[in-house]
């Protein structure tokens, strides 16, 4: 028996850690690599907003883990991780315990509602494929229902949406919603209500972390398109179909979409692993959990400080990929007796879509906006898609979308509750 390596979580960090180790020319005889995830497919999360708007389908952003495991010779286990038994070196799942010699934690994060129980009950989170499909079905179901609603105020509320969180995720959700409601829906429905979309951000500007001039340009683009951008306020509650803001303002809206906060997964929160002030797992310069030299943490559940800026690295796919590869490389180094290497991030910059041929790109000291940035956004994500089949599918579908409107079929039955309804 060689060393047993277990990777908990199959996001970008976990998958790339598995692929690195499986391809390693220094892989010792008998070494086993086991990737555990609750789903049996990898999700390309940067394109989830376009799944939510109907521009892309689930088949464009998913690929079964067993496609990777069979090709690259590692094991995949579909299971729900219940807890970590660090003392005995085991990951406890709903189908049994999996022992490890090295563990890579790539469990991602979960929505954080800051104790707002009414918001947690009412809000639709936006992190996974299921969330994106639920939003798409909710919008399609609402526009079907509105034709049978006689009350004008109720119709207005049905097509009012509040997006909490003005980071890249919230900005892209608001942009795609605007495109869907104001450009696609009118092709099929005669609706006498003007859709309302409000983007709420607690900071003084949306897209924190972007260049201030670029963030301001993004805000101007959204506002020109009719998206209400509310900065310096936060969502404070939701009751009787109204979103209550911290400044006392109330927005009557049927749908509250939550991208305003995240925290490490329940498994991490309930473990005895050390946590940083930022909430993530505390790691050293080699991505090892403090006090546990055989456990590495990567991606959204870790808390790694950028030595150059003094700020935590952002929760974006390129960072998760880099961390997964570095953690895997250090496990390999430890096994063969080489010195470990410190983690240093290498990523080109930041990118966010504003929909309808607009994007913001900040890379290598340059700032791009408008159509050139949009083509850069498209090219980057097409190249980042894992596998030739997803690349071909997405490229063909995006080309067809220029000639045909997105699918607005509603995956539900009349009389059934819409996604997000209790």
Query: What number of other Cβ atoms are within 10 A of residue 85's Cβ?
Result: 15
Residue range 281-292, pLDDT digits in tens: 999 999 999 999
Compute the average pLDDT of residues 127-146. 93
Pick from 249, 283, 246: which is nearest to 268 by CA?
A: 283
- pLDDT on residue 306: 81
- Using CA atoms, how far apart are residues 80 and 112, in angstroms rounded to an integer? 20
- Using CA atoms, how far apart are residues 203 and 224, in angstroms rounded to an integer? 21
Q: Report whether pLDDT(369) > 70.
A: yes
Last residue of a domain, one of 318, 347, 376: 347
- What region, left, alpha or beta, does residue 355 occupy, with left being phi > 0 and alpha being psi -120 to 50 degrees? left
- pLDDT on residue 277: 79
- Using CA atoms, how far apart are residues 234 and 254, in angstroms rounded to an integer? 18
- Judge whether 284 lies within some domain: yes
Specify the CATH number for the domain of residue 335.
3.50.50.60
- Judge whether 316 lies within some domain: yes
Between 152 and 103, the higher pLDDT residue: 103
- Using CA atoms, how far apart are residues 329 and 146, in angstroms rounded to an integer? 55
- Judge whether 387 lies within some domain: no
- Using CA atoms, how far apart are residues 95 and 186, in angstroms rounded to an integer? 49
Q: Is 310 helix (H, G, I), strand (E, B) or coil?
A: coil
Last residue of a domain, one of 347, 372, 399: 347
Residue range 189-204, pLDDT digits in tens: 888 889 999 999 999 9
Which of the four pLDDT bands, split at 50, 70 and 90, describes residue 16? Answer: very high
* Same domain? 103 vs 209: no
* Same domain? 234 vs 307: no
- Judge whether 352 lies within some domain: no
- pLDDT on residue 193: 85
* Same domain? 301 vs 278: yes
Q: Report whether pLDDT(21) > 70.
A: yes
- Using CA atoms, how far apart are residues 90 and 267, in angstroms rounded to an integer? 13
Pick from 200, 203, 207, 206: which is nearest to 250 by CA?
A: 200
- pLDDT on residue 320: 93
- pLDDT on residue 90: 97
Q: How far is CA 407 from the centre of its chain?
A: 23
* Same domain? 241 vs 341: no
Q: Report whether pLDDT(98) > 90.
A: yes
- pLDDT on residue 106: 96
- Using CA atoms, how far apart are residues 232 and 243, in angstroms rounded to an integer? 16
- pLDDT on residue 70: 94
Answer for the pair 98, 91: CB distance below 8 angstroms, yes or no.
yes
Residue range 292-312, pLDDT digits in tens: 999 999 999 888 888 777 778
- pLDDT on residue 422: 64
Answer for the pair 268, 106: CB distance below 8 angstroms, yes or no.
no
- pLDDT above 70: percentage of residues in the chain: 99
Residue range 80-95, pLDDT digits in tens: 999 999 999 999 999 9
- Judge whether 404 lies within some domain: no
Last residue of a domain, one of 195, 227, 260: 260
Number of domains in the chain: 2
Which of the four pLDDT bands, split at 50, 70 and 90, describes residue 181? Answer: very high
Residue range 193-246, pLDDT digits in tens: 899 999 999 999 999 889 999 999 999 999 999 999 999 999 999 998 999 999
- pLDDT on residue 91: 98
- Judge whether 175 lies within some domain: yes
- Using CA atoms, how far apart are residues 216 and 134, in angstroms rounded to an integer? 31
* Same domain? 336 vs 287: yes
- pLDDT above 90: percentage of residues in the chain: 72
Residue range 392-407, pLDDT digits in tens: 999 999 888 888 877 7
Taking each helix axis as running N to C, give the angle between helix 12-23 and helix 65-72, from 0 to 180 degrees, rounded to the nearest 10: 10
Q: Which residues of 276-306 are buried (b: 16+ CB within 10 A; e: fewer)?
A: eeebbbbbeebbbbeebebbbbbbbbbbbee
* Same domain? 21 vs 134: no
* Same domain? 326 vs 298: yes
* Same domain? 101 vs 186: no
Q: Report whether pLDDT(348) > 80.
A: no
* Same domain? 229 vs 249: yes
- Using CA atoms, how far apart are residues 67 and 90, in angstroms rounded to an integer? 26
- Judge whether 51 lies within some domain: no
CB half-sphere exposure, 202, CA atoms < 13 A? 10
Range of the domain at 177: 117-260
* Same domain? 121 vs 256: yes
Q: Is 62 helix (H, G, I), strand (E, B) or coil?
A: strand
Residue range 46-76, pLDDT digits in tens: 999 999 998 999 999 999 999 999 999 999 9
* Same domain? 122 vs 254: yes
* Same domain? 277 vs 246: no
- Judge whether 397 lies within some domain: no
For residue 99, which phi and psi values (nearest 5 degrees)? -75, 155
């Amino acid at each position: 028996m060689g060393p047993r390596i277990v990777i908990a979580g199959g996001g970008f960090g976990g998958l790339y850690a598995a692929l690195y180790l499986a391809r390693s020319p220094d892989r010792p005889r008998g070494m086993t690599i086991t990737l555990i995830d609750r789903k049996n497919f990898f999700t390309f999360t940067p394109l989830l907003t376009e799944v939510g708007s109907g521009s892309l389908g689930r088949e464009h952003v998913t690929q079964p883990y067993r496609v990777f495991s069979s090709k690259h010779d590692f094991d995949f286990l579909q299971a729900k991780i219940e807890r970590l038994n660090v003392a005995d070196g085991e990951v406890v799942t709903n189908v049994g315990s999996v022992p490890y010699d090295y563990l890579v934690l790539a469990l991602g994060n979960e929505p954080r509602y800051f104790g707002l129980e009414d918001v947690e009950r009412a809000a639709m989170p936006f992190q996974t494929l299921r969330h994106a499909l639920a939003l798409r079905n909710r919008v399609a179901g609402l526009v079907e229902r509105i034709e049978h609603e006689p009350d004008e105020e109720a119709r207005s509320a049905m097509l009012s949406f509040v997006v909490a969180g003005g980071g890249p995720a919230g900005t892209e959700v608001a942009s795609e919603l605007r495109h869907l409601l104001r450009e696609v829906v009118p092709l099929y429905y005669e609706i006498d209500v003007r859709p309302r979309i409000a983007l709420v951000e607690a900071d003084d500007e949306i897209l924190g972390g972007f260049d201030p001039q670029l963030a301001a340009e993004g805000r101007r683009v959204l506002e020109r398109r009719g998206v209400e951008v509310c900065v310096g306020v936060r969502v404070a509650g939701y009751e009787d179909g109204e979103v209550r803001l911290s400044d006392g303002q109330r927005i009557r809206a049927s749908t509250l979409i939550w991208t305003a906060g995240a925290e490490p997964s329940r498994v991490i929160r309930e473990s005895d692993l050390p946590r940083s002030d930022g909430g993530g797992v505390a790691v050293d310069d080699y991505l090892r959990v403090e006090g546990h030299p055989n456990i590495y943490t990567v991606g959204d559940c870790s808390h790694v400080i950028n030595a150059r800026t003094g700020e935590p690295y952002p929760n974006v796919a390129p960072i998760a990929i880099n961390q997964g590869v570095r953690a895997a490389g250090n496990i390999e180094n430890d096994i063969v007796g080489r010195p470990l290497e410190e983690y240093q991030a290498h990523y080109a910059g930041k990118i966010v879509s504003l929909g309808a041929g607009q994007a913001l790109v900040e890379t290598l000291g340059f700032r791009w906006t408008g159509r050139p940035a949009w083509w850069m956004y498209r090219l980057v994500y097409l190249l980042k898609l894992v596998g030739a089949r997803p690349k071909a599918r997405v490229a063909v579908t995006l080309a067809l979308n220029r000639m045909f409107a997105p699918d607005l079929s509603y995956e539900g039955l009349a009389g059934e509750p819409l996604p997000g309804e209790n």
